[in-house]
Amino acid sequence: MFLLGHNLPDTKLVRIALTSFYGISHHISSRLLARLQIHQTCLVNELTEPQITALSAYLSSPNTTPAPPPTPLNTPTPPPFSLVASSSSSSSSSPKTIKVLYEAQRWIDKRPDPLSDLKIETELRKELLANIAHLRQIGTYRGKRHAGGFPVRGQRTKTNGHTAGRLNKIDRRGFSTYAGPTDSPILSMLSRSRI
């Protein structure tokens, strides 16, 4: 199945196939499936049409897609401390433990949603290049190492450092391997109509 110019193999798990997008890790992928209520063991060819539409709608503009409202079952309710205090002698868990657990749950709920300000593909690559350009422009050591094709984080250069020589350039290419079916305009048109 083609989705936004990426070929997702039909027999793969959606969770795995989505990681072919630049900027989608395994974690982000499973969070995204959870948000769209697609189960984790779903294969690509098992996706229904509304699910595909939802996926492509999110991936084409992750920032503007509104988050679904929280499920009512998941909203935290403060533990009834009076009840907890009265029944502490009978139950095994003390009120202190319950309070700690409650605080932990609150902390988990307050964590920022990784899907709310996700950058993928071109946007993420542009950000990467902009960060390096900023380092170069203000004249830091790190910027100079990037421009010179050397390792940036203090690695040795007597031997090794060939990856840095391959990647770090004055104008670093933000696009890694850009050959393949995504190049052809016909296929990108096909993917837009999701055939």
Partner 1 sequence: MRPSLVLLQRSTWKGPYFTAFPNLADALKNGTPIYTRARSCTIVPNFVGIKFMVHNGIDYVPVPITEEMVGYKLGEFSVTRKKFTYKASRNR
Residues 27 to 86 in contact with partner 1, rule: CB under 8 A: none
Tokens found for residue 165? 């020589």
Per-residue DSSP letter, 13:
B
Find all residues with CB under 8 Å of 5, minimum gap 6, and list them: 182, 187, 188, 191
Closer Cβ to partner 1, 98 or 129, answer by number: 129
**Kind plus residue range of the DSSP H or E element containing 6:** strand 6-7
Report in angstroms how near the CB of residue 127 gets to partner 1 at its nearest: 10
Report in angstroms how near the CB of residue 183 gets to partner 1 at its nearest: 33
The contact mask relative to partner 1 for 130-169 (x = CB under 8 A, - = no) is: -x--x--xxxxxx-x-------------------------
Rg of the chain (C-alpha set): 24
User: Which CA distances in Å does 98 have to 87, 103, 110, 126, 142?
Assistant: 12, 9, 18, 46, 48
Report in angstroms how near the CB of residue 4 gets to partner 1 at its nearest: 27
The contact mask relative to partner 1 for 94-133 (x = CB under 8 A, - = no) is: -------------------------------------x--
Interface size with partner 1, residues (CB under 8 A): 9
Find all residues with CB under 8 Å of 28, minimum gap 6, and list them: 114, 115, 118
d(CA 8, CA 31): 18
Closer Cβ to partner 1, 78 or 139, answer by number: 139
Report in angstroms how near the CB of residue 134 gets to partner 1 at its nearest: 7
Report in angstroms how near the CB of residue 148 gets to partner 1 at its nearest: 8
Report in angstroms how near the CB of residue 139 gets to partner 1 at its nearest: 6
Task: Give yes or no for residue 170 binding partner 1 (CB under 8 A).
Answer: no
Closest of 44, 11, 52, 6 to residue 180, by C-alpha: 6
Binding site for partner 1 (CB under 8 A): 131, 134, 137-142, 144
